Amino acid sequence: MDKLIHTALNSIAHIRGAQIANAQNLANQTVPGFRRDIMPEGQAFVMEEQGVLQSRAYQIPQEHAAFSDLAGFINQTGEPLDLALANEGWFYVRPDEGQGGPALTRRGDLRVTPEGALVNGAGEAVLDQGLQPITLPPFRSIMVNEIGTITVEPLDGQPGERVEVATIATTRATGLSLIKGLDGHIRPTPGTPLPPPDQTGRIAQGALEGSNVNATEELISSIELQRSFELNIRMITTAKELDEAGSRLLRMPES
């Protein structure tokens, strides 16, 4: 019975991780460019004690979270600072805290701070080809072409004057294995440097990519996870009842 209980408890621990990923997806279903978290399958191992294999099997999840690389639906907004990647590209950003270095994202709901810094909706600085934060001068209008070149009409310039101020860095990260770290940002696997910008991401101005979370699928998954949790609890209860019944059979008869 001890082995049965430990197997059920290990299954419950795995379900807990899947529920965390499920809750994270539901909480971020409206975040532009969000990539759906996937609970890694990990691998199973059998305990070994003094060279003898035991019958308890455990599952170890992978260290880093996986995510779905399916593209979200692209909405036409007409806003000049809404940018969407029309292919499998990525923007470069620097998280607000600056920890962990630059990261990759599909989030394109950009805005300009009072200081002129170009950031996305999460407050992360958008980077140029030199992986430096982009700062824009005051402008009347702004245009971003397909390869990310930003052209503005300066507020203090002549009517119709256009000035190129920066280029938004993009990459397709071809051939790299990308992971989502504990901070929620996407980077290559540990030990692999971030790829240099190659401007292969095709940018569409006035459009915004939504998350690739399907709320219906996540709600169904949530119900299935709850049922699996209840099944494992019932298994533990059954193991307890069987153990108590066996103990009663072995008990000395009362005189």
Task: Provide the residue-wise pLDDT of the chain in tens; the chain has 255 residues.
Answer: 566 766 777 777 778 878 888 888 999 999 999 999 887 655 545 555 555 555 555 555 555 668 888 889 999 999 999 999 988 899 999 987 656 689 999 999 999 999 999 999 999 999 999 999 999 999 999 999 999 999 999 988 888 889 999 999 999 988 888 988 877 889 998 888 899 999 999 999 999 999 999 999 999 988 998 898 888 888 888 877 877 777 777 776 665
Spatial separation of the C-alpha atoms in residues 125 and 135, rounded to whole Å: 9
Answer whether 113's CB lies under 8 Å from 125's CB. Answer: no
Nearest to 90 by CA among 215, 213, 183, 209: 209
Give the E-state strand segments of 61-206 in sequence order.
Answer: 66-67, 74-76, 83-85, 90-94, 103-105, 111-112, 118-119, 125-126, 139-144, 149-154, 163-167, 170-171, 178-180, 186-188, 203-205
Provide the token pair at 167. Answer: 């280029």
pLDDT at 39: 74
pTM assigned to the model: 0.78
List all residues 6 or more positions away from 206 whose beta carbon is below 8 Å from its beta carbon: 76, 77, 78, 79, 80, 82
Count CB atoms within 10 A of the CB of residue 167: 18
- Residue 15 has φ and ψ, to the nearest 5°, of -65, -35
Answer whether 125's CB lies under 8 Å from 118's CB. Answer: yes
Spatial separation of the C-alpha atoms in residues 227 and 12, rounded to whole Å: 11
CA 129 to chain centre: 24
